[in-house]
Structure 1
Amino acid sequence: MSEAALLHAPATAPPVPEDRVQWLTDAVLHNRFLPQPGSESIFVGDGDFRAVGAEFLGHFIRMGGLRADNRVLDIGCGIGRMAVPLTQYLDPEKGRYNGIDPVEGGIHWCRRFITPIYPNFTFQRLDIAHELYNPRGKISGKALKLPFADRQFDFVIMTSIVTHLPPDEVLVYLREVERILTQGGCLFMTAFVVDRAAAANETGRRDPRLAFRRDGEGPCWFVPDLPALAALGFDDGFLDSALERAGLAVVLKSLGHWRGKDAGHYQDVIVAECRGAGR
């Protein structure tokens, strides 16, 4: 596959027509009856809760090929930003959603306001240690074992997760994702890929909040004056290599507009497929 095709082609043909996708995202955006937390309760993610969720529903379908009958795992589900719009797409009989997060408040809200209405949506707190979100956690990210059987999910979501993970934990997460994905299942991941254009700020329009600087000789880029894991970028190629080592094949890599170039999404999007039946 050429670089141009890799950067622009969808992973698979969208499972529903474009007019249906547009109708779904508009319906999510304007449905005032959908659960929504108060602004004081939202502890992660910028932007409008409903608008961001609707946008990503479209990305999951168009770029990730998400089907209504898929079994979905949302790693770092927070307070339901991705779960709420997915309630309007996943088939209540065939589709299934599991969300995990280390923050009790988000899990409690999702269990209270989403699961009673949508019983195929379940949420679980996983006490993973993280210096920003769960500093007293008992499970080291280096020893992560997701509480699910092998080959249990068709679609795994990691939005704004590797943007807060040190590099020695990234491969651990990705190997666990490969373990739980079915053959042909997909990982949908967002990241900050620091390519030449981003590192040099070639257009002068890079998001000023992301004035990344390299951390020594390693692959990481941090934002000065912020906690190390507040926003983390990686050298272009680092995540591709980590995915390959985990047994996942990159099928789409679409660079976002945070670097100052035109794109239909903010962070960079990588979709990877589980090709084998096991390691």
Structure 2
Amino acid sequence: MSQVLALSEHPSPLTSDMVDSHLAWLCQQIISNRFLPIPPEEDVFVGDGDYRVIGAEFLDHFVRMAGLKTTEDVLDIGCGIGRIAVPLTQFLDPKQSIYRGMDPVRGGIDWCKRAITPAYPNFRFECSDIKNQLYNPEGEISGRGMRLPFQDGTFDFTAMISVATHLPPDEIETYCSEVFRVLRPGGRLFLTAFVIREDDDPSNPDRDARLKGFERAEGQPCWHLRGENPMAAVGIDDAFLEAALTDAGFDIHTKSFGTWRGKTAAHYQDFLIAQKPRRTA
């Protein structure tokens, strides 16, 4: 089991409108359905593992851990080549919900527009020319000055899967503030990260071998891999990430640590689920 911490003093339950047995059936159908769109393997530019299996896994996490409902409006930041979008086409109600995906890699967005939107018109994708040292080094928009192209209070749920793992700290702050703005009261942010805690041992022999080279960036609350592009994998200090979320206005609902640390868990990266407070009477 993963280590899950409910951090709010009185966290409201995050419950979905789909029962567990149907969710399990749906995830299995997504994995086995050969008619769902899937990009050529050579075009999948992010993430390891099976495209459909990982997508179904995240749908399961969204529902069980963050209470995603079939009628909610979803923003997928860093949607890549649709790995999260494809399973959501089978979950979200096409008459009551919208999905918007954005990513700086045009090839992935173009595939999503060709393969997903024609069959699922409530799913739309946009290429955002945000500069990133790893994925879009020639981008024209500064990550620090980025503004999401949506009105305040547009969405109920925002996913940032493997996004904070490729951002510098000041840009993480910007994203937290912008996500807070575009969420409705009660809306949730589901964010994955490599969280570095004060008592973590960087030399832990059980840690994922690819991440044993983490070194603290001088004067920064983040960690980079020795000898790699600084944005190839970013570890972020626990206290900094919590502050970025709470300063933006979020309540941190759940924190769950992943297997990259070398311990048994239900997922690889660390998960944080943050909620925009509901309006009070």
TM score, norm. by length of structure 1: 0.94
**Residue 249 (structure 1) aligns with:** 251
Counting only pairs closer than 5 Å after superposition, residues 257-276 of structure 1 correspond to structure 2 as: 257-275=259-277
Residue number in structure 1 paired with 2:106: 104
Letter in 2 for 1:110: C
Partner of 2:6: 6
Q: Deviations over 1:227-267 (max 9, x none)?
A: 10000001122111100001111001001111011110000
Matched, 1:158 2:160: yes
Determine helix, strand or coil for the equivalent of 2:209: coil
The answer on whether the counterparts of 2:4 and 2:255 sit within 8 Å (CA) in structure 1 is no
SS state at 1:143 partner? coil
Contact persistence 1:252–1:271 (CA under 8 A): yes
- The offset of 1:158, in angstroms, is 0.2
Deviation at 1:11, TM superposition (A): 5.4
SS in 2 for 1:169: helix
Q: Is the 8 A contact 2:15 2:68 kept in 1?
A: no
Structure 1, unaligned stretches of length 5 or more? none
Equivalent residue pairs, number? 273
Structure 2 unmatched runs, 5+? none
Distance 1:91 1:266 in 2: 29
Match of 2:43 in 1: 41
Residue 201 (structure 1) shift: 4.6
Mapped contact 2:252–2:274 kept (Cα < 8 A): yes
Which structure is higher in RCO with an 8 Å CA cutoff and minimum separation 6?
2
Q: 1:2-51 deviations in whole A, cap 9, x for unaligned?
A: x96427x9951343221111111111111111000011101111111111
Matched, 1:209 2:210: yes
1:135 partnered with 2:137: yes
Identity of matched residues, %: 51
C-alpha change, 1:257 and 1:196, in structure 2 (3 Å) is farther
One-letter amino acid of the structure 2 residue matched with residue 209 of structure 1: R
Which residue in 1 is equivalent to 2:192?
A: 190
State the distance in 1 between where 2:63 and 2:93 align: 14
Give 1:209 deviation, angstroms. Answer: 0.2
**Root-mean-square deviation (CA), in Å?**
1.7
The 3 A distance-change label for structure 1 pair 192 and 4 is closer
> Structure 1 pair 201/61, CA: closer, same or farther in 2 (3 Å)?
farther
Which of 53, 57, 68 matches 1:66? 68
Q: Secondary structure at the match of 1:50?
A: helix
Distance in 2, matches of 1:194 and 1:186, equals 23
CA shift, 1:171, in A, is 0.6
Evaluate the alpha carbon distance shift between residue 199 and residue 214 of structure 1 in structure 2; reply closer, same or farther with a 3 A threshold: farther
Answer whether contact 1:10 1:62 (CA < 8 A) is retained. no
Q: Rate the CA distance shift 1:92–1:27 in 2: closer, same or farther, 3 A.
A: same
Give me the whole-angstrom Cα distance separating, in 2, the residues matched to 1:224 and 1:52.
28
Match of 1:18 among 17, 20, 42: 20
Q: CA deviation at 1:195?
A: 2.0
User: 1:11, 1:63 within 8 Å by CA — same for their partners in 2?
Assistant: no
Displacement of 1:91: 0.3
Quick check: 1:119 aligned with 2:121? yes
Whole-angstrom CA distance in 2 between matches of 1:236 and 1:140? 25
